[in-house]
Amino acid sequence: MFYVIGLGLCDEKDITVRGLEAVKSSTRVYLEAYTSILMVQKERLEEFYGKELILADRDMVEMSSDEILKDADKEDISLLVVGDPFGATTHTDIILRARALKIPTRVVHNASIMNAVGACGLQLYNFGQAVSLVFFTESWKPDSFYDRIKENSDLGMHTLVLLDIKVKEQSEENLIRGRKIYEPPRYMSIPTAVSQLQEVETSRGDGVLSPDKTLAIAMSRVGAHTDGEQRIVCGTLAELGTQDPSVFGEPLHSLVIVGKRLHHLECEFAEEFAVDRKSWRDIARDVYGCTLE
């Protein structure tokens, strides 16, 4: 059996009991090497699971899937992934490959940011499509996410914005010279995200994102179990963009753009986390037409 097991959001104990059983029954256990987006190290996972883990980066999962799948028709083999297995096309690919090889596959689901975002108090059924925001460079500023946010915004829906992470990136020089030397991981901060959003708003000018009238919710380490490690911070884009980055806690960060269908219960829940409660209430009332009782 080939198991694809979601690890959930944070640490070694977020695996489900069923997932843990599958890990223990497996002769080989691969860990998709986005470990830096889990909040713990490989060694801690190994100790808790009582298994050695084989690191598999995305290239390996994509290019060497047959190596991972070897003998999975006779033995249990597990691939561990952060969040839920269906968060990334890479996993769809390897499941398709297993299917082609007639290897039985089982998926063990878990929480991912796509549903845990509900922790900010906004209802999941009020979210439109999610978007990704990548690090801009001097010459590369992809902005199709803006159209998606506009589509959601026109319908009054919230948008989950997933912020870029750069893991296992090579510098241009190392890339050219073929040196497998990797830069330290980089995670987009909330102020950087806000600044990029505002840059695109300025160039596109459709009035989708207003510094002083668009409410947003910054989230970090959703589902973390240590006091104060999970952070939720709400405010206008301008308020969030000018906070000291330490306010938002450690990465990973995500950002939610609040849609106009904001319900007063959503508003009330999030208010607890507002940079400035009065400003949050005033804008919810004046711009969003949402009055707290």
Torsion angle of the four alpha carbons 256, 259, 264, 265, in this order, in degrees rounded to the nearest 10: -40
Binding residue per annotation — 181? no
Token pair belonging to 270: 């999030």
Binding residue per annotation — 9? yes
Minimum CB–partner distance for residue 271 and its own copies (Å): 10
Binding residue per annotation — 220? no
Q: Which stretch binds its own copies (CB under 8 A): 29-37, 110-118, 198-206, 213-221?
A: 110-118
107 or 238: CB nearest its own copies? 107
Q: Which stretch binds its own copies (CB under 8 A): 32-40, 95-103, 163-171, 190-198?
A: 95-103
Tell me: does residue 269 bind its own copies (CB under 8 A).
Answer: yes
Binding residue per annotation — 222? yes
61 or 241: CB nearest its own copies? 61
Sign of the dihedral defined by the CA atoms of residues 13, 14, 19, 23, in that order = negative
Cβ neighbourhood burial of 244 (10 Å; 0-12, 13-18, 19+): exposed
Burial 66-76 (b: 16+ CB within 10 A, else e): eebbeebeeeb
DSSP 104: -
- The neighbouring-strand residues paired with 28 are 77
- Through-space distance between the first and last CA atoms of the chain, rounded to whole angstroms: 54
Residues forming the annotated binding site for S-adenosyl-L-methionine? 9, 84, 87, 112-113, 163, 222, 253
Contacting positions for its own copies (CB under 8 A) = 6, 8-9, 12-18, 20-21, 84-87, 89, 92-93, 95-96, 99, 106-112, 114-116, 118-119, 121, 123-132, 151, 155, 157, 222-223, 225, 265, 268-269, 272
